[in-house]
């Protein structure tokens, strides 16, 4: 704009355009391009710094939780597992379940070493939920998310299935559908249970229960996503929508422009 204004002002003074030196206009134009490029790099660097700060804060919090859980919950679960195996019978089954929960907790609070920003395929984290009563449907292509985000989404899905197991009649079926939709990964958990009574979620939040408010809504909100819950007498549907990383979105956009 400054280059064009400079040329316009010179030509307005009766000077022939062919005789006007363009060195100054070209330099101003190049300066504008350089300043714009530097500003874009500065924005990207600031976003990376914010992301690194969030990852560092999450790592410190994970370490703090790991210490507290190791000193209490994990030791109790290990004791239950050992005593259950010694007693046998139904206690052995309880011990086995306690051992599974201990392993799951250890994996949850373990601080990952190495590439914290590596992507994970969400499909691989959702497939273990598939059973004779839970059907998992995912696309043939990967659903990449930052590893931490993928684990949080999978944990939210696990919390939704836990609610189905606890509050629905035995034999209730559930379906998990994962897909990518317009720069976001969408996971839907649906069941054919009796539905959620009106006002039950609000009451649970007031009572401090963390099933939906923290384990599902809280996890997805921390990732910048949204949760939509639809319930009726024929079942409940929970839709989790989480945006893909900014870097991946930019890469997809560039790829689309090249194609």
User: Which domains does the chain possess?
Assistant: 116-259 (3.30.565.10)
- Of residues 246 and 45, the one with the higher pLDDT is 45
pLDDT on residue 60: 77
pLDDT over 70 at 118, yes or no: no
Q: What's the chain's Rg over C-alpha atoms?
A: 27
Per-range mean pLDDT, top range of 1-10, 48-57, 111-120, 185-194: 185-194
pLDDT on residue 210: 58
CA–CA separation, 238 and 227 (whole Å): 7
- List phi, psi (to 5°) of 207: -80, -5
Q: Rounded to two decimals, what is the model's pTM? A: 0.56
Per-range mean pLDDT, top range of 83-87, 177-181, 194-198: 177-181
pLDDT over 60 at 78, yes or no: yes
Least confident of 11-25, 79-93, 210-224: 11-25
pLDDT over 60 at 256, yes or no: no
């Amino acid at each position: 704009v400054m280059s064009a204004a400079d040329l316009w002002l010179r030509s307005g003074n009766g000077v022939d355009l062919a005789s006007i030196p363009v060195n100054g206009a070209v330099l101003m134009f190049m300066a504008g391009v350089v300043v714009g490029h530097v500003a874009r790099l500065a924005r990207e660097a600031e976003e990376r710094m914010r992301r690194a700060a969030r990852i560092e804060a999450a790592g410190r919090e994970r370490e703090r939780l790991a210490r507290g859980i190791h000193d209490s919950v994990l030791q109790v679960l290990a004791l239950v597992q050992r005593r259950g195996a010694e007693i046998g019978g139904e206690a052995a089954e309880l011990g086995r379940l306690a051992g599974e929960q201990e392993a799951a907790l250890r994996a949850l609070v373990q601080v990952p070493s190495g590439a914290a920003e590596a992507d994970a395929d969400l499909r691989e984290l959702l497939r273990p939920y598939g059973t004779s009563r839970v059907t998992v449907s995912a696309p043939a292509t990967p659903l990449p998310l930052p590893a931490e985000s993928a684990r949080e989404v999978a944990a939210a899905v696990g919390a939704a299935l836990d609610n189905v197991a606890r509050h629905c009649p035995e034999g209730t079926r559930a379906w998990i559908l994962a897909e990518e939709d317009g720069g976001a990964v969408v996971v839907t958990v649906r069941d054919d249970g009796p539905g959620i009574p009106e006002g039950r979620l609000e009451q649970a939040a007031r009572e401090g229960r963390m099933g939906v408010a923290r384990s599902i809504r809280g996890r997805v909100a921390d990732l910048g996503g949204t949760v939509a819950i639809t319930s009726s007498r024929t079942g409940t549907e929970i839709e989790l929508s989480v945006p893909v990383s900014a870097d991946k979105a930019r890469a997809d956009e560039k790829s689309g422009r090249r194609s």
